[in-house]
Amino acid sequence: MDSKDFTISLSYRSEYVSDRASVIERETGKMEMWNVLSDLWEPKDNPDGIVNLGMAQNWLLRDIVLQRIRYSFDPPSSALTYTEGTTGSKRLKDAMSKFINHHFFPSKRVLPEHVSVTNGTTSALEHISWALADPGEYFLVGQPYYMNFVANLTWRFGARLLTVSFEKDDDRFSEVAVKKYQQALDKAKAEGKKVAGILLCHPHNPLGRCYPRKVLIGMMKLAQAHRVHIIADEVYALSTWENTVDKECAPANFHSLLSIDPNGIIDGHRVHVVWGMSKDFAAKGLRVGALISQYNSHLHNSLIETGYFTMISSFSDHIAVNLLEDEEWLQWYIPEHQRRLSQNYAKTARWAQNNGINYVKGANAGLFMFADLGTKYREIHCISPTLNVTQWVQRALKAKKVFLSSGDDFGYEKPGWFRIVFCVPDYCLFEGLGRIIEALNEGWKKNNV
């Protein structure tokens, strides 16, 4: 499959909003997730609702995190005004840098001035796009990619995305990936496309795996050779866990990009990491993200004023400080979080095995499993090989009111793959998994939606 070039084309015209807003208005209409969220299944309160195994959210630790937040929620009166700057209070930057030093094992100590805090990782990614690429310049991302990279990087500031595609049996976490990125960079250069950076999702959404250290080093060398930035989205950094099911696999453990000393590999100005509390702290609604860049003070300086647009609420700042400073609680919380993720992966992997569903083996990170529902669908129902099986599965899932994101959404080359989020309470997980099997068995019939 060819790589894709995401460029916003101003082909729509509107009298009522700008042309570019009009393009996005149409794109947004395709996003099912927001409708799903307003009609969530609950056995008693909304029995006709939709089971959501499509959004990468972590419910497993919600009550615990909420309890911990309540325990010390005593905001100072200053929480009603701005903090010291637009990119997080001094205390939060201090707490976050200590937290990162403790859990990401950086090769050089992270200092508060290496951190710019934003209202969510999404905003940190958009700052990356704005600050590191001029309009028309590209970021490279491997397929499949976290679907919102397209919006985060391309929608508002004119940067573009070039996807790197793989062959059927390529290991996307091996040296092969470095080679593929190299070919993509060479091709872009030959076509006169200017690349600003390589963006890695590490740990990977939706594949649930981490890049081995040596592959990260290969990517860094490649970025240096082409004088481009390298950015790792490490929003799942601590959502890594033991895979107790796929014993035959030996997945790479997580090593932060920050843990690799850039000396002799890459100019440190080009190395950046984004992280946030949405996944590792089960707190999407808190809107806490961060951009960590240890050598590029220009990048942080460029956010002093533009940070106004993405300022974290002073209340969230206060809450984040309380969580990150509580080392004793963290010592219990993080392993507990990882233990629960491991358990729920195991439940989901056994369900897949018992039902003869193929999935990406050897995952050890993230909140989801990537599974091939299309092959199973084809086994049960005779549909022509020329028809897009993803659409058939999608329709069958919709008829059974269970929501999953498809591999197509992530730009995956193979049809029929879906991401199943397993970090929901058991009653919801088993309801959703049961509905998936029903959807596959019954298939989609024209009159059942």
Ligand X SMILES: Cc1ncc(COP(=O)(O)O)c(C=O)c1O
| Measured distance CA(115)–CA(5) in Å, rounded | 31
User: Closest CB to ligand X among 234 and 246?
Assistant: 234
Q: Which residues contact 387 (CB under 8 A, 6 or more apart)?
A: none
User: Closest CB to ligand X among 218 and 289?
Assistant: 289
User: Closest CB to ligand X among 54 and 218?
Assistant: 54
User: Closest CB to ligand X among 368 and 392?
Assistant: 368
| Measured distance CA(125)–CA(275) in Å, rounded | 9
User: Closest CB to ligand X among 126 and 246?
Assistant: 126
| Measured distance CA(279)–CA(58) in Å, rounded | 6
Q: Residue 140 Cβ, how far from ligand X at the closest point, in Å?
A: 16
Q: Residue 440 Cβ, how far from ligand X at the closest point, in Å?
A: 26
Tell me which residues touch ligand X (CB under 6 A).
Answer: 56, 120-122, 146, 201, 205, 233, 235, 276, 278, 284, 289
User: Closest CB to ligand X among 286 and 373?
Assistant: 286
The DSSP element (H or E) to which 117 belongs, if any, is: strand 115-118
User: Closest CB to ligand X among 86 and 205?
Assistant: 205
- The set of long-range contacts for 103-106, using a CB threshold of 8 Å and a minimum separation of 24, is 103/237, 103/238, 103/334, 104/234, 104/237, 104/256, 104/258, 104/259, 104/273, 105/255, 105/256, 105/258, 105/259, 106/256, 106/258, 106/259, 106/294
Q: Residue 35 Cβ, how far from ligand X at the closest point, in Å?
A: 18
User: Closest CB to ligand X among 345 and 377?
Assistant: 345
| Measured distance CA(200)–CA(167) in Å, rounded | 18
Q: Residue 312 Cβ, how far from ligand X at the closest point, in Å?
A: 11
Is 281 strand, coil or helix?
Answer: coil
Instruction: Name the token pair of 159.
Output: 């940067």
Q: Residue 385 Cβ, how far from ligand X at the closest point, in Å?
A: 32
Q: Residue 284 Cβ, how far from ligand X at the closest point, in Å?
A: 5
Q: Residue 286 Cβ, how far from ligand X at the closest point, in Å?
A: 9
Q: Residue 139 Cβ, how far from ligand X at the closest point, in Å?
A: 14
| Measured distance CA(119)–CA(189) in Å, rounded | 35
Q: Which residues pair with 52 in a beta bridge?
A: 403
Q: Which residues contact 302 (CB under 8 A, 6 or more apart)?
A: 131
Q: Residue 411 Cβ, how far from ligand X at the closest point, in Å?
A: 14
Q: Which residues contact 63 (CB under 8 A, 6 or more apart)?
A: none
402: exposed, middle or buried (C-beta count within 10 Å: 0-12, 13-18, 19+)?
buried
Cα within 13 Å of Cα(49), Cβ side: 17
| Measured distance CA(334)–CA(222) in Å, rounded | 34
For residue 47, the one-letter residue type is: P
User: Closest CB to ligand X among 202 and 255?
Assistant: 202
Q: Residue 418 Cβ, how far from ligand X at the closest point, in Å?
A: 16
Query: Is 96 within 8 Å of 324 (Cβ atoms)?
Result: yes
User: Closest CB to ligand X among 363 and 440?
Assistant: 363
Q: Which residues contact 315 (CB under 8 A, 6 or more apart)?
A: 75, 79
Q: Residue 95 Cβ, how far from ligand X at the closest point, in Å?
A: 17
User: Closest CB to ligand X among 122 and 296?
Assistant: 122
Q: Residue 278 Cβ, how far from ligand X at the closest point, in Å?
A: 3
| Measured distance CA(332)–CA(336) in Å, rounded | 6
User: Closest CB to ligand X among 121 and 256?
Assistant: 121
Query: Is 196 within 8 Å of 132 (Cβ atoms)?
Result: yes
| Measured distance CA(100)–CA(293) in Å, rounded | 12
Other CB atoms within a 10 A radius of the CB of residue 264 amount to 7
